[in-house]
């Protein structure tokens, strides 16, 4: 039961990202500036944990990959997501973020030569239909359709979020989360820096950024991986899909954001497309042959 609570808490904290970002925008902060401070402040927390626990060592051969993740996975995701929030709202951005499983299926098929089974194909088509429903239907409150900028950067956040799955497949089993973020986050900050327009700091803008860094980044990732230790990955992934639901509820309560009927149908297709992908992964793991020792230690 504790595993579910950990993952649910992490999803709730991630659901705060869009609404908190909008509060900083309302206080006059620049869009990319919010992503920059979220990245930089979160690095302080991860670095402190890594130093205290003496988990700072990483193999030199892995540094280029970790730096590349800092550029694409950190700067790409954090930057694209806040632009999507600013352009289309917190609800739209959070739903388009969850196109990530479809991107994972496509990228794994293209670059890792993983099979593209029927469940994955169904998930990809459901995602495409969902994006069409959101972007081609009316926008919030029956207004005109969402602009291309909001949809583009929302989809880009989904692509860059997909990199977390691919990167984690190779590196999260070899290093602890604070160690990876110790090196990846400053690369992300430096990548965002040329695009930042710094504004005059105010408490109204700084406090949401601090909460983003402490709770929605450092806290959420730490809690999520603690939950994975108590819960199988398939179930954790299902619970994590509550993030866009939480974000949409908060966006409606705080800013009056709501989709049209077509938009809600599209959002449901995108969130629902996660389930076939997860189910397909679970079936593949069940069909995988057991190691010889686990199978009873029999020799030929």
User: Could you tell me the pLDDT band of residue 296, with boundaries at 50, 70 and 90?
Assistant: very low
d(CA 286, CA 279): 11
Please, are residues 102 and 131 in contact by the beta-carbon 8 Å criterion? no
Please, are residues 78 and 35 in contact by the beta-carbon 8 Å criterion? yes
Instruction: Say if residue 285's pLDDT is above 80.
Output: no
Instruction: Say if residue 215's pLDDT is above 80.
Output: yes
d(CA 7, CA 2): 9
Please, are residues 266 and 131 in contact by the beta-carbon 8 Å criterion? yes
DSSP 147: P
Q: What is the pLDDT of residue 113?
A: 76
d(CA 153, CA 65): 24
Q: What is the pLDDT of residue 286?
A: 55
Please, are residues 31 and 93 in contact by the beta-carbon 8 Å criterion? no
Question: What is the model's pTM?
Answer: 0.84
Q: Which residues contact 270 (CB under 8 A, 6 or more apart)?
A: 95, 96, 98, 99, 126, 127, 130, 131, 134, 244
Instruction: Say if residue 58's pLDDT is above 80.
Output: yes
Mean pLDDT calculated for residue range 33-45: 97
d(CA 128, CA 109): 17
pLDDT digits (tens, 9 = 90+) for 70-112: 999 999 999 999 999 999 899 889 999 988 888 888 887 887 7
Q: What is the pLDDT of residue 290?
A: 44
User: Could you tell me the pLDDT band of residue 297, with boundaries at 50, 70 and 90?
Assistant: very low
pLDDT digits (tens, 9 = 90+) for 224-242: 888 877 776 656 666 777 8
> What are 282's two structure tokens?
């679970």
d(CA 244, CA 97): 8
d(CA 63, CA 131): 36
Q: What is the pLDDT of residue 241?
A: 77
**Angle at alpha carbon of residue 146, lines to 141 and 150, rounded to 5°:** 125
d(CA 22, CA 25): 5
Mean pLDDT calculated for residue range 36-51: 97
pLDDT digits (tens, 9 = 90+) for 118-171: 877 887 888 888 888 877 665 655 454 567 899 999 999 999 998 887 787 778
User: Could you tell me the pLDDT band of residue 293, with boundaries at 50, 70 and 90?
Assistant: very low
């Amino acid at each position: 039961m504790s595993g579910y609570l950990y993952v649910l808490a992490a999803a709730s904290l991630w659901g705060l990202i869009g609404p908190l970002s909008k509060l900083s925008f309302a206080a006059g902060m620049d869009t990319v500036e919010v992503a920059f401070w979220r990245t930089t402040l979160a690095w302080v927390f991860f670095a402190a944990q890594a130093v205290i626990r003496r988990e700072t060592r990483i193999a030199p051969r892995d540094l280029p990959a970790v730096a590349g993740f800092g550029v694409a996975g950190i700067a790409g995701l954090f930057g694209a997501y806040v632009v999507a929030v600013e352009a289309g709202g917190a609800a739209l951005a959070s739903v388009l973020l969850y196109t990530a499983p479809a991107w994972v299926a496509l990228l794994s098929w293209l670059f890792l030569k993983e099979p593209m089974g029927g469940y994955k194909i169904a998930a990809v088509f459901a995602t495409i239909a969902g994006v069409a429903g959101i972007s081609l239907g009316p926008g919030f409150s029956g207004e005109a359709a969402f602009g291309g900028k909001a949809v583009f950067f929302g989809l880009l956040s989904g692509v860059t979020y997909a990199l977390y799955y691919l990167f984690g497949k190779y590196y999260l089993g070899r290093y602890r989360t604070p160690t990876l973020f110790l090196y990846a986050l400053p690369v992300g900050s430096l990548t965002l820096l040329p695009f930042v327009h710094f504004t005059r700091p105010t408490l109204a803008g700084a406090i949401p950024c601090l909460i983003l860094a402490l709770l929605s980044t450092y806290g959420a990732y730490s809690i999520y991986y603690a939950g994975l230790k108590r819960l199988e990955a398939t179930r954790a992934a299902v619970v994590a899909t509550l993030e866009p639901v939480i974000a949409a509820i908060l966006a409606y309560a705080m800013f009056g954001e709501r989709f049209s009927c077509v938009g809600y149908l599209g959002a449901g297709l995108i969130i629902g497309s996660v389930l076939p992908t997860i189910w397909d992964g679970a079936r593949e793991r069940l069909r995988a042959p057991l190691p010889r020792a686990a199978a009873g230690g029999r020799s030929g």
